[in-house]
Structure 1
């Protein structure tokens, strides 16, 4: 029997990040090996040790040193949950100033499936750069989901996470 496919879960600093362990558990139960990479600010919101215990892989937020082994197995797919205005715009521009962006840029260049679940407020969604940058990511093959999926943390019920799990199930190589 082969090992479960690997999902890189990229976590940005928006309120649903505070409950990302729940999503990691659901994704693991759904047949993924989950490897979490957080943006620098999101990493400060997470109990990285507890999340590493849940997933069996270290939570990454910093670049590794030259010569250090890669701590995560190669990815089969990625999900950006929650995806913020800052990360989405920088990613669309090709910036790699954080590990999370570097990972996303490499995965995009490799043609791996990437799903994005934005958590962007109405004012930022109306910014003139946002729409064209989402279009640029979609044209590159990124699946950008409806921003209403992720609401405030008290609204992150199991049914909300189920929408994410269901969408990613279709991206799983063994699906």
Structure 2
């Protein structure tokens, strides 16, 4: 039998959820219209998705739409198939129950153990079975701030339920983005190989001010650093990213900076304040600074810009934190592979790096969607990786895991 046409998109965006069964429980919020695309985003990453609805949800979105979105019949009632047990019982086939959107009514019923809709029955069964549950609230702000809702969400957290959002806008506790829901599903169902590790990442470019409105900068987009942060989060790490443009993902700490000095100061302060296991310095930090003019430079003027070398961040970090694991990046232009590797080895030795990523940005990488890099370790291993920046990030995090394992082995040996 041919598969449902919706499933033609399966794994189009990766295999992070391959082999996983996700039950998407939909309740009666207007945000239910978002579940069509949410279902498809989960499928695009390999998940098998089954929808279950409340009667109120069907006043917002028709079951046929969810059938189309998931490729599977929608569960609208608990029948003789005992669907709640089939999916979320002790031997159920579901890996994750996502309740999105979750209304105030459904949240309170779940917290009180009331089962009067298919969704609440699925939730009670999943919590009782120890199956992972993610709840994504959506309601008016006044409802979200009600003491009973606050208490019930706290109770659900104590029971191990993951609460994502909401996003407060226009007096409404809005459902978070589908991207954030998918990312947290990947974290919950992922390999958890970096759980307990704290990783600090620099990303993107910096801006050196010539005057109040003009800057010197690079073409670096920050896409690689962001993909590294997301992949580390998927694998269970506690992640902090220092960069210029806000990412806005719940669970990832962000420190916003502009200049190279601000980035250096922020990293040093963060390392002084918190204990981290690794710094991944992926930012294209300016090698030079300038003295800023306090006023706009007149466009008719002929000017000479005097630049002075900026402090190398990783050298500052290595001097102050000799035992910290550090991964650096080495960007060059117009070199042969042998020359590129040679300069990267030199940089690794000078700064005593654990890992370094080298690439020729004249070819691709800076500002592009994909890249070709060499990931090099202090064990003199070299891995060439080409593809989307998410692929690059995944390969780098594989090497980060090996680095942590080697350090743990040495520690145990001592």
Q: TM-score range by the shorter chain?
A: 0.7 to 0.9
Residue 38 in structure 1 maps to residue 53 in structure 2: yes
TM-score in terms of structure 2 length: 0.37
Greater CA drift, 15-24 or 159-168 = 159-168
Alignment of 1:40-119 (within 5 A): 40-64=55-79, 66=80, 68=81, 70=83, 74-119=93-138
Q: 1:69 to 1:85 in 2, by over 3 A?
A: closer
Which of residues 144, 160, 173 is equivalent to 1:141? 160
> Counterparts of 2:40 and 2:170 in 1: how far apart (Å)?
19
Q: Deviations 1:88-142 (Å, cap 9, x if unpaired)?
A: 0110000001111000000000111111110021111221211111111000000
Shift of 1:20: 1.1
CA contact (8 A) 1:5 1:173 kept: no
Q: 1:70 to 1:126 in 2, by over 3 A?
A: closer
Shift of 1:151: 8.8
Greater percentage in strand = 2
Q: Which has the higher contact order (CA 8 A, sep 6+)?
A: 1
Greater percentage in helix = 1
What are the ranges of 5 or more consecutive residues in structure 1 without an aligned counterpart? none
Residue 170 in structure 1 maps to residue 184 in structure 2: no
CA contact (8 A) 1:118 1:150 kept: no
Q: Deviations 1:126-165 (Å, cap 9, x if unpaired)?
A: 212111111110000001112118999xx98xx9211111
Residue 14 in structure 1 maps to residue 40 in structure 2: no
Shift of 1:49: 2.0
Shift of 1:15: 1.6
What are the ranges of 5 or more consecutive residues in structure 2 without an aligned counterpart? 1-17, 88-92, 192-234, 236-414
Provide the secondary structure at the position in 1 that maps to 2:110. helix
Q: CA RMSD in A?
A: 2.6
> Counterparts of 1:30 and 1:94 in 2: how far apart (Å)?
32
TM-score in terms of structure 1 length: 0.85
Residue 132 in structure 1 maps to residue 125 in structure 2: no
Count of matched residue positions in the alignment of Structure 1 and Structure 2: 167
